[in-house]
Structure 1
Amino acid sequence: MKRASIPSHADSPGRSQGRSGRHSRPFYRRPWLLAVLALLILYGVVVVYQTHKPLPPGVSFEGTVHYVPDGSLELLTDLTHRDASGGQQVEQQIFERMFQAIGNARQFIVLDMFLYNGYANKGQSYPPLSRKMTDKLIQQKKRYPELAAVVITDDVNTSYGSHDDPELELLKRAGIQVSITNVNPLRDSNPLYTAAWRMTAGWFGQHGKGWLPNKMASEAPDMTLRSYLKLVNAKANHRKVLITEKELVLASANAHDSSFYNSNSGYAVSGSSGLIGEALRTEQAALDLSRAGIRLPDAPPPAAAESAAQGTVGVQLLTEGKIRKHVLADLKEAGAGDTVWMGMFYLADRSVVRALLDASGRGAEIRLILDPNEVAFGNSKIGIPNRPVAQELANKSDGNIQIRWYNTDKEQYHVKAMLIAGPEGSVIHNGSANFTARNLDDLNLESNLRITAPSGSRAAMEAEAYFQRLWSNEDAPYTAEYGQYENDTVWIKRVLYRVQDLLGFTTF
Structure 2
Amino acid sequence: MKRIVGILFLLFIIIYSSTIYYHVKKPLPIGMSVEGAIHQVEDIELLTDITYKNKQNKRVVQHEVFHTMLKDIQQAKKFIVVDMFLFNKDTNEDQVYPPLVEEFTKALIKKKTDNPSISIVLLTDKINTIYGSYPSEELNDLKQIGIKVIETNVKKLRDSNPLYSAFWRMFGQWGKTNGNGHLPNLLAKSEQKITVLSYLELLNVKANHRKLLITENAAIISSGNIHNASGYHSNIAFRVDGNIINDLLESEESAARLNEHLHLPRIPKQPETNTQIEIQLLTEGKIGKHVLEEISKTDSKDSIWIGILYLADRNVIDEIKAAAARRVHIYLLLDPNQNSFGNKKSGLPNIPVVAELRKSKVSKNIHIKWYNTGKEQYHPKIMLIERETADTIISGSANFTRRNLYDFNLETDIKIIAKKETKVAIETKSYFQRLWTNDGAEYTRDVDTQSKLPFFRYIVYRLQRVLWFTTY
Normalising by structure 1, report the TM-score: 0.91
Indicate the residue corresponding to 2:110 in structure 1.
139
Cα distance in 1, alignment partners of residues 160 and 138 from structure 2: 29
Indicate the residue corresponding to 2:463 in structure 1.
499
Indicate the residue corresponding to 1:442 in structure 2.
407
Indicate the residue corresponding to 2:395 in structure 1.
430
Find the residue that maps to 1:280 and give its secondary structure: helix
Cα distance in 2, alignment partners of residues 300 and 186 from structure 1: 29
- 1:40 maps onto 2:7 in alignment: no
- 1:300 maps onto 2:267 in alignment: yes
* Pairing 1:352-501 to 2, within 5 Å after superposition: 352-396=316-360, 397-486=362-451, 488-501=452-465
Cα distance in 1, alignment partners of residues 97 and 420 from structure 2: 41
Cα distance in 2, alignment partners of residues 242 and 281 from structure 1: 14
Cα distance in 2, alignment partners of residues 431 and 448 from structure 1: 4
Find the residue that maps to 1:76 and give its secondary structure: strand
Shift, 1:246, TM fit = 1.2
Cα distance in 1, alignment partners of residues 291 and 377 from structure 2: 23
Shift, 1:206, TM fit = 2.6
Cα distance in 1, alignment partners of residues 447 and 272 from structure 2: 49
- 1:338 maps onto 2:306 in alignment: no
Cα distance in 1, alignment partners of residues 331 and 456 from structure 2: 26
Cα distance in 2, alignment partners of residues 309 and 439 from structure 1: 33
Indicate the residue corresponding to 2:4 in structure 1.
31
- 1:64 maps onto 2:40 in alignment: no
Which string of whole-angstrom CA distances, capped at 9 and with x for unpartnered residues, describes residues 335-379 of structure 1? 112110000100000000011111111111100000000011222
What is the aligned counterpart of 2:247 among 266, 278, 295? 278
Q: Which runs of 5+ in 1 are unaligned?
A: 1-24
Equivalent pair of 1:427/1:450 in contact (CA under 8 Å): yes
Equivalent pair of 2:336/2:370 in contact (CA under 8 Å): yes
Indicate the residue corresponding to 1:226 in structure 2.
197
Equivalent pair of 2:39/2:272 in contact (CA under 8 Å): no
Find the residue that maps to 2:154 and give its secondary structure: coil
Equivalent pair of 1:394/1:400 in contact (CA under 8 Å): no
- 1:108 maps onto 2:79 in alignment: yes
Cα distance in 1, alignment partners of residues 178 and 263 from structure 2: 27
Shift, 1:310, TM fit = 4.7
Indicate the residue corresponding to 1:74 in structure 2.
45
Cα distance in 2, alignment partners of residues 481 and 63 from structure 1: 38
What is the aligned counterpart of 1:209 among 170, 180, 185? 180
Cα distance in 1, alignment partners of residues 363 and 388 from structure 2: 25
Equivalent pair of 2:41/2:272 in contact (CA under 8 Å): no
Q: Which runs of 5+ in 2 are unaligned?
A: none
Which string of whole-angstrom CA distances, capped at 9 and with x for unpartnered residues, describes residues 143-198 of structure 1? 11110100000000001111111110000011000000000010000000000011
Equivalent pair of 2:328/2:365 in contact (CA under 8 Å): no
One-letter amino acid matched to 1:343: G
Shift, 1:129, TM fit = 0.4
Cα distance in 1, alignment partners of residues 416 and 147 from structure 2: 32
Shift, 1:400, TM fit = 2.2
Cα distance in 2, alignment partners of residues 386 and 164 from structure 1: 34
Shift, 1:482, TM fit = 1.4
Cα distance in 2, alignment partners of residues 493 and 314 from structure 1: 43
Cα distance in 2, alignment partners of residues 119 and 430 from structure 1: 27
- 1:289 maps onto 2:223 in alignment: no
Shift, 1:399, TM fit = 3.1
Which string of whole-angstrom CA distances, capped at 9 and with x for unpartnered residues, describes residues 67-100 of structure 1? 1003xx1001011011123211111210111111
Shift, 1:309, TM fit = 5.3
Which string of whole-angstrom CA distances, capped at 9 and with x for unpartnered residues, describes residues 418-457 of structure 1? 0001221100011000000000010000000100001211
One-letter amino acid matched to 2:325: G
One-letter amino acid matched to 1:467: F
Shift, 1:497, TM fit = 1.7
**Structure exhibiting the larger radius of gyration computed from Cα positions:** 1
One-letter amino acid matched to 1:428: I
What is the aligned counterpart of 1:84 among 48, 55, 58? 55
Indicate the residue corresponding to 2:27 in structure 1.
54
Find the residue that maps to 2:155 and give its secondary structure: coil
Indicate the residue corresponding to 1:128 in structure 2.
99
Give the % identical residues.
44
Find the residue that maps to 1:75 and give its secondary structure: strand
Which string of whole-angstrom CA distances, capped at 9 and with x for unpartnered residues, describes residues 192-247 of structure 1? 00000111111112333111111011122111000011111000000001111111
Find the residue that maps to 1:203 and give its secondary structure: coil
Equivalent pair of 2:101/2:227 in contact (CA under 8 Å): yes
Find the residue that maps to 1:340 and give its secondary structure: strand
Cα distance in 1, alignment partners of residues 164 and 396 from structure 2: 29
One-letter amino acid matched to 2:297: E
Equivalent pair of 1:69/1:310 in contact (CA under 8 Å): no
Shift, 1:308, TM fit = 6.4
Cα distance in 2, alignment partners of residues 441 and 503 from structure 1: 16
Equivalent pair of 1:181/1:289 in contact (CA under 8 Å): yes
RMSD of aligned residue pairs (Cα, Å): 1.3
Change in CA separation of 1:310 and 1:139 when aligned onto 2, cut-off 3 Å:
farther
Find the residue that maps to 2:300 and give its secondary structure: coil
- 1:252 maps onto 2:252 in alignment: no
Worse-superposed segment, 162-171 or 31-40? 31-40
Aligned residues: 471
Shift, 1:493, TM fit = 3.1
Shift, 1:31, TM fit = 2.2
What is the aligned counterpart of 2:315 among 330, 333, 351? 351
Indicate the residue corresponding to 1:8 in structure 2.
none
Shift, 1:295, TM fit = 2.1
One-letter amino acid matched to 1:335: D
